[in-house]
Chain A
Amino acid sequence: MIRFARILGIVLQAAVLGTLLFVAVFRLAGIMGGARVFQYEGF
């Protein structure tokens, strides 16, 4: 049971950090690649 608690903690840590890592790298790659939402400057 105790072993299970530790695994559960590690899994949750990996899920949260893995998601944040993916979002951060994905967003950063977009910024570095020049992606931006188009803003029209005319009408």
Chain B
Amino acid sequence: MTQEKKTIESGAAVPVAAPVKRPAKAAPKPPPPPTFFGTFLQGLTRPSLPAVIGTLCVALAWLAACVLFLTPANLARIDARYLMTVEDDDYTEVSLRAFRIAAQPVKPAFAIALFGTSGTREAISDEKVIEEAVSAELGTQAPCYFLAAKALSPYEMVGVMDHISEGFEGIVVMHIGPNFLSDSGEGRRHLIDLHRLAFQNEVYDEELRAAGLNPPSHTGNYFLDNWRFFSVRTNDQLLHHLIAGPPVFKRHRYVDKPPLRENQRGWDDMVATAIKWMDEQAYRANRQTNRELLDRMIARLRRNGRVELVLVEVPRNPVLSNILIPPALASDHRAFMQQWAQQPGVHYFELDQEAALTADDLEDYIHLRSPAAQERYTKALAQKLRQVAAQWKEEP
């Protein structure tokens, strides 16, 4: 700065540097024209108001589709086993069977509805054996509807029966036992929240109310009334089944398992569970109520046609049965059942001896594990139902 000042003061000419010629600045390149794929990606990945509105519309469209198209009739048409959370989801299986039976355009002249719990599921080798025996007796096709599910309550059985009751004529088989008759409405309070089956109906609600429970009110739309059943089954398994195909329902889960008697600890645990399960006081308090529940069901069915009620004792492990059911209770139960069977159109059978069941044929208390025992038991039941069908034929 000081040197520059001196130069100006001295009056010496200051050499002026020639202007440097810079190359002309290149004009900015125009952006490349948008490609189809680039624009598509932008629309796909960038948030925008139309995308938000579209997202909400699609979610509402799914809801509307469920409300409009998710109906028992449509579920009967497709293989809705996709909904099974596991391959032994009894409740989906029973619901779908009930939907298919109810959707039949032509009802058979004679049918057999077989209800029960897991003991029934394991005891019947194949319902076709029953179907063939009864059909042979009647000379007409008599389908057997297998409607057994794990711990299915009498209330749910009545609900399922009501669902398939239109045009139903034939035999209703109930696998029964002291445990079944111990069932109390109060003990089934959880059924209201669980929505185990994919439907409810007026009769089911009526019976729950009669048991002192308060079923939820209904909108009249199938999906809105049963959304919990579907919600709980909307999971990774559903996605897996949609990709890999619906699972094959696994019915016999105890076959070839070793009997628990061979495992002392397992046996002791099972005995402890069974003792809690078989409550004599509950049996005595509730057996008449459960009988009336089934009697009302049969009375409703008989308004539309002829129906026989067959009560069959569920197979029981003879060793455990002697521990759990004292002889006095066993004979009292038998007397109660025989007195029930005095009613017209009611039959009662015990098949354990006829099927020659031994303790080793069962895995625990009520689940048959031997295929040979299952066949013997099913044939014994088929024979009894054949006799009932023969009476039916004789007394039109």
Contact = CB atoms under 8 A, between A and B. Distances in A.
Nearest to A14: B54
Interface in A24-43: 25-27, 29-31, 33-38, 40, 42-43
A2 B34 contact: yes
A15 B365 CA distance: 52
A38 B194 contact: yes
Nearest to A18: B58
Interface residues of B, number: 52
Contact of A13 (B51, B89, B228): B51
B55 A27 contact: no
Interface string B222-253: 00000111111111000000000000000000
A6 B51 contact: no
A39 to B, nearest CB: 9
Interface string A1-23: 11001111111111101110111
B41 A9 contact: yes
B39 A14 contact: no
Nearest to B61: A18
Contact of B151 (A12, A19, A22, A40): A40
Interface-centre pick from B43, B54, B151, B195 (highest chain A CB count, 10 A): B43
B62 A18 contact: yes
Contacts of A22: 58-59, 62-63
Contact of B37 (A5, A27, A31, A36): A5
Contacts of B234: 23, 26-27, 30
Given A9-B42, A43-B366, A38 B57 contact: no
A21 B36 CA distance: 28
A12 B44 contact: yes
Contacts, number: 124
A18 B58 CA distance: 5
A14 B57 contact: yes
B320 to A, nearest CB: 11
B194 A19 contact: no
B45 A13 contact: yes
A17 B51 contact: yes
Given A36-B194, A37-B85, A29 B231 contact: yes
Contacts of B228: 30, 33, 35
Given A27-B234, A35-B232, A10 B43 contact: yes
A30 B341 CA distance: 44
B44 A18 contact: no
A32 to B, nearest CB: 10
A30 B39 contact: no
Nearest to A39: B150
A17 B110 CA distance: 51
A42 B273 contact: yes
Nearest to A32: B231
A6 B48 CA distance: 11
Contact of B43 (A7, A23, A29, A31): A7
B367 A43 contact: yes
23 contacts: A2-B39, A5-B37, A5-B39, A5-B43, A7-B43, A9-B45, A13-B51, A14-B51, A17-B51, A19-B59, A26-B231, A26-B234, A30-B228, A30-B232, A31-B231, A35-B229, A36-B232, A37-B233, A38-B150, A38-B151, A38-B194, A42-B273, A43-B118
Given A6-B40, A6-B43, A30-B227, 19 more contacts: A2-B36, A2-B39, A5-B40, A9-B39, A9-B41, A9-B44, A12-B44, A14-B54, A17-B58, A18-B61, A19-B59, A21-B58, A21-B59, A22-B59, A25-B59, A30-B232, A35-B193, A35-B195, A43-B277
Interface of A: 1-2, 5-15, 17-19, 21-23, 25-27, 29-31, 33-38, 40, 42-43
